[in-house]
Structure 1
Amino acid sequence: MVRFIHTADWQVGMRAVQVGSAAETVRRERLEAVRRILEVARKRCADFLLVAGDVFEDNRVDRVLVQRLLDLLSRSPCPVYLLPGNHDPLVPGAVWDHRGFASPGNVTVLRRAAPVAAPGCVLYPCPVASKESNQDPTGWIPREGAGLPRIGVAHGSVEGPNVSPWDHPIPRDAAERCGLDYLALGHWHSTGTFQDRTGAVRMAYSGTPEPTSFGERDSGNVLLVEVEAGSPPSIQVIPTGRLEWVRMEETLLGPKSLEGLKGRLEALPEPGSTLIHLTLRGHMSPQCLDDLEAIRQVLEARFLWHRIHEDPWEVDRSWIQLLPEGMLREVALRLLDRGEDPAVRDRAVFEMYRILKEVRG
């Protein structure tokens, strides 16, 4: 039996500019995730570590960062096999030309579509040589091979209704068709498995070991895989992610709509490592605006990063009628009746409310 760690989509060097000041923390966690993976490999006595593509964000990553990763992998408790993916394809001038990859050691770049002897098994790598392709990367793998466990490693999209034909398409029966005991996949950031006709799972996406964005269904994992030749593999999901990317939506129905939201935000564990994307829509009243300011303060003080996206609101005009007759009430009503973008118009009205509240103390 062979035991190994299947991981993919490290994307070391990810810029994460969409999260502003938190980008440096996000980038740092890419390397910290690798440290955690090596610790999993050590504790689980893995025979090797298999990375199914997109080790780097792209081929332009800083070469000092490449050296940092190599230094980290040099301390791996087991051999490490790296597959070029569509983010870091094997092209002239690629990141894989770094001289550190040529030095003897425990790190092997899987550069050729040819069998590779690995501890207790044979690997069948499918390195990516272009950003896009309509060719099945596993198409070269022979049906027959040695009596040892046969482990494929490929980077692409398992064929389905929403898959682009240029996204390195992989048939859903690729493991069975190629006679593989296991096919380690990369490219999709969520952990996912595929059953063959017998119900056995012989191909899987590990997902990225550290989440990369909002909306990833089940990322932040690696897979511990145990395989005997000719038998269905044993696959265990092991969490390795630290940052939480939380998307929340709230429909405002009345003055107290935001009270529950504030409570849910305060109940989230580890806010210092949590990024929040909050969408608000519905009926906005002056009290909601006050509550929203309190929520902004909580997000700013406690969370790693946040963004509040405000859909166009239905504006509560009742407070305007409480204004004294004269210029102030007339200005507020005219603002609401203007033809500008509703979001801009409503923001102007509520800024007016905020100013009046401050003046009145």
Structure 2
Amino acid sequence: MTRHYLRGEAQARFTAARIDAIRSIGDLAQQQGCEFIVVCGDVFETNQLSRQTIGRALEALAAVPVPVYLLPGNHDPLEPVTIYRSPQFVRDCPPHVHVLTSSDPVTVREGVELISAPWSGKHPDTDLVGAAVSSALAGPRMPSLGQPVPDVCAQGPGSDLVRIVVGHGAVDVLDPDRANPASIALAPLERALADGHIHYVALGDRHSRTSVGDSGAVWYSGAPEVTDFREHFPGDVLVVDLGPGAAPVVTPHHVGRWVYRTMHREINNATDVAALARDLAGQPDKDRTVLRLALRGALGVADRAALAELLEEQGDVFACLSLWERHTSLRTHADGSELAELGLGGFLGAAAEEMHQQAQGEPVPAGDHALDLAELTEDDDPLAWEFSAEAPPDAQSATDALALLYRFSQEVTR
């Protein structure tokens, strides 16, 4: 998985962490005495990946000490160019790693069965999970979903069989698109759980750990490594204890190492800038932290320059440090005494005076030193400038330019 805001080696470490998560899951499975692992779709980000990524994933899977069952999802469906039929995957896939390629029930061992719903394309037009469960339960042993269970079936040889449904996609009660024909219908699944036809529903697609419905037996495990700020309880896997006639016991375990964090601060003076500096310095595991700042307030030229320098320095040690543009509103007010301290002369002094006049809302006389001011943008880079020849000079651009000039002048003095 790539993230455009991770620059340089941070993206490489983010990629490596996703491979490391496979090994962590295998270690946890062994520690907890798990019999097997299911991965509920989107094992891979896309069906077009480098040989290196596929090879490293298969090497990590080879080290997992229990059987692993992989479900194709919307990112890696069983389309003609699927990664699961590529020569490299077929050749190098470890023997204990199994791809769930059809809705036919798969026997894990005697008494345990998987009912899976793999994706064959990116845009299914039906509830794949519901169809798979209905098909599996429509045989001579069991009726279709929602139908009463005859006594002979409930008492028959299949009564001790544990069925685990493995699916991918949005459950209808959580899908914002109420007309989506591919939404997974929750009510029939909960009826089948209550009737004892199935015993647990393992779902993928949501990156946040989520329990769905009232049964306690329908879960999204979430992504084993965080991928976005919007996720709740990411970085977990679920250890599930199952047996016939008993409710599942579901225990989350955290395996993720990366963190996405948002920090809101009011910044109005040097004391506030210093407090932010202490907060940033105190953040743990900066090399694995993606931090966005929502800053509001008004600063003098010197304090704005100090803030810019702080963000630049800390940006070098965080995996990513950025300003949250939609929630950041920082104004800069110009104080002539701050510029006087710099003792600028010649062209720089004249330019500073013009910027100061513009910052105070005074008209700037045309002449040899008239400036075309740039606009400072509050994007991922706290010192990113976007020049627009058509944009007229304005007070805020002038104060931002003064802050940058102040900072550069201070650096030269040092």
**TM-score when scaled to structure 1?**
0.85
Check conservation: 1:133, 1:166, Cα contact below 8 A: no
CA displacement at 1:360 relative to structure 2 = 6.1
Is 1:133–2:186 an aligned residue pair?
no
Aligned partner of residue 17 in structure 1, secondary structure: coil
2:366 aligned partner: none
After the TM superposition, which of the residue ranges 276-285 and 104-113 deviates more from structure 2?
276-285
Tell me the distance in 1 between the aligned counterparts of 2:397 and 2:73: 44
Structure 1: any 5+ residue segments left out of the alignment?
1-13
1:4 aligned partner: none
Tell me the distance in 2 between the aligned counterparts of 1:30 and 1:127: 22
CA displacement at 1:273 relative to structure 2 = 2.1
CA displacement at 1:57 relative to structure 2 = 0.5
Tell me the distance in 1 between the aligned counterparts of 2:278 and 2:74: 42
**Aligned AA (2:356):** A
Check conservation: 1:134, 1:169, Cα contact below 8 A: no
RMSD: 2.7
**Aligned AA (2:186):** R
1:117 aligned partner: 107
Is 1:170–2:184 an aligned residue pair?
yes
Aligned partner of residue 293 in structure 2, secondary structure: strand
Tell me the distance in 2 between the aligned counterparts of 1:307 and 1:72: 33
Is 1:152–2:142 an aligned residue pair?
no
1:189 aligned partner: 207
Tell me the alpha carbon deviations over residues 200-227 of structure 1, each in whole angstroms, 9 at most, x when there is no partner. 3010010110112233221001000011
Counterparts in 2 of 1:287 and 1:126: CA distance versus 1, 3 Å: same
Counterparts in 2 of 1:316 and 1:35: CA distance versus 1, 3 Å: same
Tell me the alpha carbon deviations over residues 44-96 of structure 1, each in whole angstroms, 9 at most, x when there is no partner. 11110100000001000113422332232223211110000111111001101
Check conservation: 2:199, 2:248, Cα contact below 8 A: yes
Is 1:59–2:47 an aligned residue pair?
yes
Tell me the distance in 2 between the aligned counterparts of 1:232 and 1:300: 48
Is 1:49–2:37 an aligned residue pair?
yes
Tell me the distance in 1 between the aligned counterparts of 2:27 and 2:56: 17
Which one scores higher on RCO, CA 8 angstroms, separation ≥ 6? 1
Structure 2: any 5+ residue segments left out of the alignment?
144-157, 362-372, 374-391
Tell me the distance in 2 between the aligned counterparts of 1:173 and 1:110: 24
Tell me the alpha carbon deviations over residues 149-183 of structure 1, each in whole angstroms, 9 at most, x when there is no partner. 11001110122365234484122335313442110
Check conservation: 1:250, 1:281, Cα contact below 8 A: yes
Counterparts in 2 of 1:194 and 1:340: CA distance versus 1, 3 Å: farther
Is 1:320–2:307 an aligned residue pair?
no
After the TM superposition, which of the residue ranges 270-279 and 121-130 deviates more from structure 2?
270-279
Tell me the distance in 1 between the aligned counterparts of 2:266 and 2:97: 51
Q: Whose Rg is larger?
A: 2
Which residues in structure 2 correspond to 1:33-48 (within 5 Å)?
A: 33-48=21-36
Counterparts in 2 of 1:232 and 1:161: CA distance versus 1, 3 Å: closer
Tell me the distance in 2 between the aligned counterparts of 1:178 and 1:101: 36
Check conservation: 1:55, 1:82, Cα contact below 8 A: yes
Check conservation: 1:90, 1:128, Cα contact below 8 A: yes
Of all paired residues, the percent bearing the same amino acid is 29
Check conservation: 1:209, 1:220, Cα contact below 8 A: yes
Tell me the distance in 1 between the aligned counterparts of 2:240 and 2:251: 7
Tell me the distance in 2 between the aligned counterparts of 1:342 and 1:84: 55
Tell me the alpha carbon deviations over residues 332-356 of structure 1, each in whole angstroms, 9 at most, x when there is no partner. 2225648457774443231133245
2:357 aligned partner: 333
After the TM superposition, which of the residue ranges 253-262 and 180-189 deviates more from structure 2?
253-262
Is 1:254–2:254 an aligned residue pair?
no
Structure with the largest fraction of strand: 1
**Aligned AA (2:358):** R
1:20 aligned partner: 7
Tell me the distance in 2 between the aligned counterparts of 1:111 and 1:344: 58
CA displacement at 1:137 relative to structure 2 = 1.9
After the TM superposition, which of the residue ranges 270-279 and 22-31 deviates more from structure 2?
270-279
Check conservation: 2:333, 2:359, Cα contact below 8 A: no
Tell me the alpha carbon deviations over residues 276-299 of structure 1, each in whole angstroms, 9 at most, x when there is no partner. 222323212234324414532551
Counterparts in 2 of 1:263 and 1:104: CA distance versus 1, 3 Å: closer
Check conservation: 1:313, 1:343, Cα contact below 8 A: no
Aligned partner of residue 208 in structure 1, secondary structure: coil
Check conservation: 1:335, 1:345, Cα contact below 8 A: yes
Which residues in structure 2 correspond to 1:165-314 (within 5 Å)?
A: 165-166=179-180, 168-179=182-193, 180-196=198-214, 200-296=215-311, 298-309=313-324, 311-314=328-331
Counterparts in 2 of 1:322 and 1:101: CA distance versus 1, 3 Å: closer
After the TM superposition, which of the residue ranges 117-126 and 65-74 deviates more from structure 2?
65-74
